[in-house]
């Protein structure tokens, strides 16, 4: 598959992840009497990954996240030539989704953006957790997210079902970490809302790039040892054809 189609798939996948997940938080989480709360938001993020993994995962690999791309590269599962184009497409997709969400949300009289589903630490953390606690949370959550992604798409894993545990893993991650950081584990998802939430959130954006990338890199290198070596492919959702027919 050529790079244009693959980056387009990453754009659409990251757009949907940001719009669906952050949209659930901004539009539905606190809606009077019908609010979906943290649980609903967590499932919304998981469902975005699950649905797009099957919709376009076979085109690009279904990364939708710069940390996933970097982690898969570190684990020998992504070509070096794909890293920068993928990350650019993911960030642009997240910003476009945040812009669309902002435009829709602002159509309600009296609406104010407040945190706009952005991530933060200290005073901007939902539970007022410290910088150190938020850093540790994002590193650990991203580490295990990549461990699950790579494990589910490695030799010997059930073919064709990777999207389900990956989506559920992201749901679980949100259930644990929404009170701490509002859950990032995805620098693109953090960037889009932060640009519309304002200066304080933009100033803290560095952590939500640094921590997920560090966690992903560590996971990638650990899985190089943990799993049998695999040939780099254009998609993490597809196992080699020989394994399909074995």
Give the separation between CA 204 and CA 110, rounded to whole angstroms.
Answer: 27
Condensed to tens digits (0 to 9), the pLDDT of residues 59-98 reads 999 999 999 999 999 999 999 999 999 999 999 999 999 9
Condensed to tens digits (0 to 9), the pLDDT of residues 16-60 reads 999 999 999 999 987 766 678 999 999 999 999 999 999 999 999
Give the separation between CA 103 and CA 101, rounded to whole angstroms.
Answer: 5
pLDDT band at 243 (very low <50, low <70, confident <90, very high): very low
Closest CA to 7 of 67, 88, 79: 88
Model pTM score: 0.90
Give the separation between CA 63 and CA 84, rounded to whole angstroms.
Answer: 13
Closest CA to 188 of 212, 171, 166: 212
Evaluate whether 193 touches 87 at the Cβ level (below 8 Å): no
CATH number of the structural domain spanning residue 145: 1.20.1080.10
Name the burial class of residue 245, with classes exposed (0-12), middle (13-18) and buried (19+) by CB atoms within 10 angstroms of its CB.
exposed
Looking at residue 241, what is its pLDDT?
Answer: 39
pLDDT band at 230 (very low <50, low <70, confident <90, very high): low
For 74-103, b where at least 16 C-beta lie within 10 A, e where not — what string?
A: bbbbbeeebbeebbebbbbbbbbbbeebbe
Domain that residue 180 falls in: 3-245
Give the separation between CA 90 and CA 68, rounded to whole angstroms.
Answer: 11
pLDDT band at 156 (very low <50, low <70, confident <90, very high): confident
3-class secondary-structure state, position 71 = helix
Looking at residue 228, what is its pLDDT?
Answer: 66
Count structural domains, the chain.
Answer: 1
Condensed to tens digits (0 to 9), the pLDDT of residues 176-210 reads 999 999 999 999 999 999 999 989 999 999 999 99
pLDDT band at 229 (very low <50, low <70, confident <90, very high): low
């Amino acid at each position: 598959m050529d790079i244009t189609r693959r980056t387009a798939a990453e754009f659409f996948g990251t757009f949907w992840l940001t719009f669906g997940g952050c949209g659930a938080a901004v539009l539905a989480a606190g809606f009077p009497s019908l609010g979906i709360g943290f649980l609903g938001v967590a499932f919304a993020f998981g469902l975005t990954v699950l649905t797009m993994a099957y919709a376009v995962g076979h085109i690009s690999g279904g990364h939708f996240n710069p940390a996933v791309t970097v982690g898969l590269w570190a684990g020998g599962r992504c070509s070096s030539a794909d890293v920068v184009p993928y990350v650019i497409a993911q960030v642009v997709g997240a910003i476009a989704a945040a812009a669309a969400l902002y435009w829709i949300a602002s159509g309600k009289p009296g609406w104010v953006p407040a945190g706009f589903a952005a991530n933060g630490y200290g005073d901007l953390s939902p539970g007022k957790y410290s910088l150190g606690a938020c850093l540790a949370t994002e590193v650990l959550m991203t580490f295990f997210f990549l461990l699950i992604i790579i494990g589910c798409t490695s030799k010997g894993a059930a073919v064709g079902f990777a999207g389900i545990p990956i989506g559920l893993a992201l749901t679980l991650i949100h259930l644990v970490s929404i009170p701490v950081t509002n859950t990032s584990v995805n620098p693109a998802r953090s960037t889009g809302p932060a640009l519309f939430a304002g200066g304080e959130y933009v100033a803290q954006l560095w952590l939500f790039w640094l921590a997920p990338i560090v966690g992903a890199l560590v996971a990638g290198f650990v899985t190089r040892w943990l799993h049998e070596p695999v040939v780099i492919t254009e998609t993490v959702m597809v196992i080699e054809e020989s394994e399909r027919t074995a």
